[in-house]
Amino acid sequence: MAIEIAEKLEIEAPVERVWEFVMDPSRVVTCMPGASLEEVVDEKNFLGKVKVKVGAISASYKGKVEYADIDAATRSIRLAAEGRETGGGTAKGTISMALHGNAAGPTELAITANIDLTGRIMQVGRGMIQGVSHQLFKQFATKAKAILETEGEESKAMEASVADDQELAVLPLLFKTIFAAIANFFRRLFGRAEV
């Protein structure tokens, strides 16, 4: 099943600082819940794993990420990722990131992803996976902004504390996703009733 994700984030930091951050997978992974960097193969290839649990369904993917296309002039990169679940499922896709900003900031980080998933995790359905993905991005955005919008020793201390907090709590994300879907349903329902 193919999943598409498109998100934007504004960071109160110079574009160069954000670019250095996205080009360093050891820093990016500290902001991704449930993810860990296992090995740096070379400057463009990395091995890692991601653990996800949605209700009774859990999945652990091990795989590789390649910085496939890097354009420093336009501050854009495309990552190619693929992983295999211990239970037999797969995840394969591309993630594109583009930065827009200047030396004074702020910087806009635009992320688009196209991911093809198979395996047990698909039992929860496309809508739920996209909703949980959005909540995960919000967690990533909060952590990345906290690191990038502070400077010096405070930023390093924050990055270390974020790296220690790697447990992925999907159940609260699931509840947020369900609540958002219900709220949207009632907004549409009452919006039509007023017309």
Q: Quote the crossing angle between the two packed helices 126-148 and 15-22, to the nearest 10°.
A: 120
**Does 195 score more than 90 pLDDT?**
no
Read off the pLDDT of residues 85-118 as tens digits, 9 standing for 90 and up. Answer: 987 888 899 999 999 998 887 999 999 988 888 8
How many angstroms separate the CA atoms of 19 and 75, rounded?
Answer: 7
The boundaries of the domain holding residue 90 are 2-185
- Give me the number of domains the chain comprises: 1
**pLDDT score for 187:** 67
- CATH code for the domain of 135: 3.30.530.20
Does residue 144 fall inside a structural domain?
yes
Query: Please, which contacts does 123-127 make with residues 24 or more away whose CB atoms are closer than 8 Å?
Result: 123/57, 124/54, 124/55, 124/57, 126/1, 126/3, 127/181
**pLDDT score for 180:** 59
Read off the pLDDT of residues 75-88 as tens digits, 9 standing for 90 and up. Answer: 999 999 999 998 78
Question: Which of the pair, 6 or 128, is modelled with greater confidence?
Answer: 6
How many angstroms separate the CA atoms of 52 and 61, rounded?
Answer: 8
**pLDDT score for 140:** 87
Give 37's strand partners. Answer: 48
User: How many CA atoms are closer than 13 Å to the CA of 158, on its beta-carbon side?
Assistant: 15
**pLDDT score for 86:** 82
Does residue 79 fall inside a structural domain?
yes
Does residue 15 fall inside a structural domain?
yes
Torsion from C-alpha of 146, 151, 153, 154, nearest 10 degrees: -30
